[in-house]
Amino acid sequence: MAADALSRPTFADVLAARRRIRPYLAPTPLIRADSLGEALGFDVWLKLEVLQPIRAFKVRGGVNLAAAEHQAGMLPPAGMVAASTGNHGQSVAYAGRLFDVPVQVFVPESANSVKARAMERLGATVVRTGRDFDAARAAAEAHAAAHGARYVHSMNEPLLIAGVGTLYLESLEDAPGADVIFVPMGGGSGAAAAGLVAKTVSPSTRVVGVQAQGAPALHNAYRTGRLEETPEAETQAEGLATRVAFALPLAMIRDTLDDVVLVSDRELYRAQRLLLRHVGVLPEMAGAAGLAAALRAREALQGQRVILPLTGANPSEDELTRVLSEGWA
């Protein structure tokens, strides 16, 4: 879908989303991580999206979209369909339960069983299909079209992005004048939301997207302006494992982000371990991407105020074993 065929969310949409989700989701804390900041030499502020009902930031978008369309009578009897590696699916499932709407989520055959079981507990029907997220996405789109369901795209959805924007609005209200925000980036909905909000309320704050080295489609698209695709998504960070770039977030991040950087899986594991050691919080790999990038830029960040959103905490059992094993310096 071309960017000009999509309606970009505005800052007014973010404010509307905050009013819309307030009855269902409380703001999450933004904490100053003194021990970690002292070790790194800059002022670290952590946005604890790991405390959301599904332990991930995406619930903001799912609730905003479902609330808006439920109130407008737009959700069809067939319900909502999504494709996900886990957290987007949980978001749609949670919203479906709130508004008594049936939900089906298509996940890759290798999907994180922790997240798949969580979606089922929320009442969703989980369909395992395809080798990766993009294969599951194609199956979900075809199913929704055939059955008249509302397909909830994980990226090209203005209401999702506006909902996620509330995260960054809260962050910049609690830490005004922040120098930089590092945003984990798979398909880019979170980065698009961060850029929209920051450039409206705190134009001096730099926003940097962080993607996995093994899945650099959006990183590449940010630089070329084209909807890039990679043959594989070679990363253990399932929340960052996207092979294609999408039109709406790409258009937004090219207008509002200051940079997009790549980090290795090894750097993500190191960031997870540091967060566990200094803060007692263990995000999944994607949720630690902001810190991984900040560690790379450590010298340039000395003395600055840095916001790191911990976007999710739904690691698989294999991931927990890897994180806690020795050898990740």
- Which residues are CB-neighbours of 83 under 8 A, at least 6 positions away? 89, 105, 106, 107, 133, 136, 137, 139, 140, 141, 154
Residue 329, pLDDT score = 46
Between strands 43-48 and 30-32, the pairing is antiparallel
Neighbours of 310 (CB within 10 A): 29
What residue has token string 């200094």?
278
Residue 320, pLDDT score = 85
**Cα–Cα distance measured from residue 296 to residue 42, given in angstroms and rounded to the nearest whole number:** 13
The residue type of 106 is: F
Q: Is residue 240 part of a domain?
A: yes
Structure-block tokens of residue 201: 């309320």
Whether residues 299 and 312 fall in one domain? yes
Whether residues 169 and 311 fall in one domain? yes
Whether residues 77 and 9 fall in one domain? no
Whether residues 103 and 218 fall in one domain? no
Whether residues 285 and 219 fall in one domain? yes
Whether residues 182 and 145 fall in one domain? no
**Cα–Cα distance measured from residue 218 to residue 230, given in angstroms and rounded to the nearest whole number:** 10
Task: Render 242-254 in DSSP notation, one character per residue.
Answer: -SB--HHHHHHHH
Residue 163, pLDDT score = 98
Alpha-carbon torsion, ordered 65, 67, 73, 76, to 10 deg: 60
Listed in sequence order, the DSSP H helices in the chain are: 11-21, 34-40, 59-71, 87-98, 113-121, 133-147, 158-174, 189-201, 217-224, 247-256, 265-279, 289-296, 317-324
Residue 2, pLDDT score = 45
CA distances from 253 to 30, 34, 198, 212, 260 (A): 24, 31, 12, 17, 9
Domain around 15: 3-56+157-324
Neighbours of 201 (CB within 10 A): 15
Whether residues 261 and 143 fall in one domain? no
User: Residue 32 gets which letter from DSSP?
Assistant: E
Whether residues 138 and 173 fall in one domain? no
Q: Is residue 329 part of a domain?
A: no
Whether residues 200 and 212 fall in one domain? yes
Per-run averaged pLDDT (10 residues), the chain, 329 residues:
69 98 98 97 98 97 98 97 93 98 96 90 97 92 98 97 98 97 96 98 98 98 97 92 94 98 96 94 96 98 98 88 67
Q: Is residue 303 part of a domain?
A: yes
Q: How many residues does the chain have?
A: 329
Q: Which of 149, 138, 21 lies closest to 91 in space, CA to CA?
A: 21
CA distances from 149 to 9, 76, 295 (A): 23, 6, 43
Instruction: Name the domain boundary from 124, 151, 178.
Output: 151
Whether residues 279 and 291 fall in one domain? yes
As for how many domains the chain has, the answer is: 2
**Per-residue exposure over 51-88, b if at least 16 CB sit within 10 Å of its own CB, e if not:** ebebbbbbbbbbbbbbbbbbeeeebeebbbbbbbbbbb
Paired residues of 310 in beta bridges: 48
The CATH number of the domain holding residue 313 is 3.40.50.1100
Q: What is the pTM of this model?
A: 0.95
Whether residues 63 and 50 fall in one domain? no
- Which residues are CB-neighbours of 66 under 8 A, at least 6 positions away? 75, 80, 92, 95, 96, 98, 99, 101
